[in-house]
Amino acid sequence: MPKFKYTATDAQGSEKQGVVEAINRAGALVKLKELQLFPSAVAETDAKAAKIPAAKARGKGGPPAGGPKGSLLKMNLTLPSIFPQRIKRNKLMIFTRQLATLIDAGVPLLRALQVLQKQEPHGGLKKLIGEICEAVESGGTFAEALSHHPKVFDRLFVNMVKAGEIGGVLETTLNRLAEFSEKAEKIKTKVKGAMIYPIVVLVMALGILSFLMIYIIPKFQEIFTGLLEGQQLPVLTQFVMGASDLIIHNAPAVAIGLVGVGVAFKVIGKTKLGRLGFDWLALRVPIFGTLMLRVSISRVTRTLGTLLTSGVQILQSLNIVRETAGNEIVSRAIQKVHDSVKEGETVAAPLEASGVFPSMVVSMITVGEETGRLPDMLTKIADNYEGEVDAAVDGLTSIIEPILIVFLAVIVGTIVIAMFMPLISIISNLR
């Protein structure tokens, strides 16, 4: 009987590795499920023996594993990690929804993938679906085929598909994934749309400021030098002219300095301590901090609720949520929840102790745990906070416009006043 080597997670979230004997790979998955293990990789110990039965089971002769087809398959499975495809999120959502519809209609998985590949006009996605088809056709599961493309299908997607395959509800899981992606993309688009206007205004302000500093201020400096006859300029005028000289005569140094500051922030942000500090500050910035916290809470609750509803084990779900939280402070709070659940305690207690999640969220999660409806309660929290994010973005858009106008007026007004103060002195002397 063939032997299958596996890597899996047990009910406590610990990783296990071992070997099981089974007639085929499907039998190995069934045995692992009986052992209450959640496999992430299952492969026959003898690679050649794995491919020959797979070909026979499909009723196809096919070339041997060492032949051209085997080499091509191996190349297709390894190339994506070197040259990852760039697939837009909306195309991935449409693919997921269409695949769920076909499977729900009774079309076998492999046939559904082949249909979608044939009708897909986008070259990158068409190639990706073809590689997934070959991986599934060679005897692998759908989740394993997706895991070969981590730049396109994240851990959330792969683990939900895996849970759907094990539970026999793949079409339901794919529908949930499509809905989850649509709502996440809606929030992302809403926040990005709100930032377009202030970015455009700031770029225009920098352009105007650069024009004044490089071309207008030096003209005034020549006038003041000729007419004031050595008299001292006002402090504000000296500051503006000094800034202009710095930009004109030390432009490369200024540019290198700005780039250096940007790189320094980037490098510091890559460190654990730096990322923690930046994320802590981000949550405490006036107005924007509250918005970012709401977005994080919405993402965390929506992701966790979707995973639990799809049948993914809670410790594994918390690990995935921790990685997709998008904020180190929130990620650490989720880690504490993971440790608490691993010790047999509740989800709500460590959330409350973290001080990050509002009391309303903690109370609703407590009720969900007590009533055994935690996934439903998490989904309701996500719906509530998505509504709050929409309202906050609309409010932010309405107040950003006057704030930026005042900001631009202060900058330009300061330069104008700095230039007119010496002119007043010159006019007084002429009189």
Taking only the tens place, the pLDDT of each residue in 155-180 is 778 877 887 777 677 888 888 888 87
Please state the pTM of the whole predicted model.
Answer: 0.60
Instruction: Give the residue carrying structure tokens 């309202």.
Output: 391
Most confident of 22-36, 76-90, 179-193, 362-376: 362-376
Distance CA(92)–CA(377), nearest Å, equals 28
pLDDT tens figures, 56-104: 334 433 444 333 434 344 344 444 444 444 677 778 888 888 888 888 8
Which strand (E) or helix (H) includes residue 400?
helix 374-430
Residue 184, pLDDT above cutoff 80: no
| SS3 of residue 29 by DSSP | helix
* Structural domain spans, the chain: 3-180, 182-431
Rounded-to-integer distance, Cα 311 and Cα 38, Å: 11
Q: Match 């690679």 to its residue by tokens.
A: 47
* Residue 112 pLDDT exceeds 50: yes
Work out the angle at residue 430's Cα, subtended by the Cα atoms of residues 427 and 431, and round it to the nearest 5 degrees.
Answer: 90
- Work out the average pLDDT over 296-305: 85
Per DSSP, the three-state class of 6 is strand
What distance in Å separates the CA atoms of residue 387 and residue 382, rounded to the nearest whole number?
9
Phi then psi for residue 58, to 5 deg, are -90, -5
Give the pair of three-digit tokens for residue 123. Answer: 């070259």
For the purposes of burial, counting CB atoms within 10 Å of the CB of 228, is it exposed (0-12), middle (13-18) or buried (19 or more)?
Answer: middle
Could you please state the CATH topology (level 3) that the domain comprising 3-180 is classified under.
Receptor-associated Protein (1.20.81)
CA gap 84, 207 in Å, rounded: 37
Q: Please choose, from the candidates 107, 87, 92, 125, the residue with its C-alpha nearest in 3D space to the C-alpha of residue 170.
A: 107
Specify the CATH class of 182-431 in words. Answer: mainly alpha
